[in-house]
Amino acid sequence: MATLCRPAVSVPEHVITVEETLELARSRHADHPQLGLSLRLIENTGVRTRHLVRPVEETLAHPGFEERNRLYAAEAKARVPLVVRRALEDASLRAADIDLVIYVSCTGFMMPSLTAWLINSMGLPSTTRQLPIAQLGCAAGGAAINRAHDFCTAYPEANALIVACEFCSLCYQPTDIGIGSLLSNGLFGDGVAAAVVRGKGGAGIHLERNGSYLVPGTEDWIAYDVRATGFHFLLDKRVPGTMEPLAPALRALADGHGWDVSDLDFYIVHAGGPRILDDLSKYLGVPPDAFRFSRATLTEYGNVASVVVLDALRRLFDEGGAADRARGLLAGFGPGITAEMTLGRWSRTP
């Protein structure tokens, strides 16, 4: 049975606090007609600190799309190997044991993907299959787990490496002053993560069932407008309410597995914002504390896109995990509007 092992996570050294974010918004957009609303929205995200790959002053100076994409590639190559090595150690595997590498990111572009560089530079076999996922946004963390699960189900002796790399700050656009853009300037952070799914052995979550769901007619609610200056983030004001149509999809996945989604032992979900977690608590009928790991990621790191699910799971591991055979749900939410969902049991014995 495929087992999701402990993720390794790293965030950059440059930190910006919510107080600094609010002051920057006041100074740079003093004449904005909806400044007060923007400040309240940023305060209500629950984000206290975020980590950036470049100092704040460099982040605010837009050097052009070409330079930003160069920085993305350089920072990815500098920061990803550390989490990959730690993830392999936590899974008790070597690089030579990997059969599939899945790379998820929506904040920069490389071709060939970073997967090719990882194979060449970190000793993965030349026969390693590559699966880059670039356009699922925040849902890609869940999608990576699901595709690794599918692969290890098809090839029970195989192992899959998941890498998530998100430098949201490199997508900052100083000319975008819509409410959604100003909110995103105080919400998104940077980070990288890696985790291994083992076809055999390993301690962690035994993956049992996965599924996807797309909310009809919402494909333009979260999107990129790609221009000469790079990726311009578009966020519809209806996005915070998407848990109402997504919660039944989570329930249906659990029902199909003979589980009650309101009566599981742990929940690891993407924390796009506090209302996402509050609504899930309401619609799934679980206490707010059930999402404490996701909320901690949001508070300390902000929305780190595809990295969030892996970091929230890392926090569960750090707390000592769950009881053996405990049942849980993992879910990532992103553009589409898409949910990538997983059910599994905790296993303490490799």
Residues marked as catalytic: 138
Coil, helix or strand at residue 219:
coil
Q: Are strands 204-218 and 3-4 parallel, antiparallel or unpaired?
A: antiparallel
> How far is it, in rounded angstroms, from Cα 340 to Cα 268?
12
Question: Which run of H or E residues covers position 277?
Answer: helix 274-284
> How far is it, in rounded angstroms, from Cα 68 to Cα 128?
29
Is residue 195 within 8 A of residue 6, CB to CB? The reply is: yes
> How far is it, in rounded angstroms, from Cα 325 to Cα 78?
38
> How far is it, in rounded angstroms, from Cα 282 to Cα 155?
39
Burial of 132 (C-beta count, 10 Å sphere; 0-12/13-18/19+): middle
Strands (E), 12-114: 14-17, 49-52, 100-104
Is residue 186 within 8 A of residue 328, CB to CB? The reply is: no
> How far is it, in rounded angstroms, from Cα 314 to Cα 333?
18
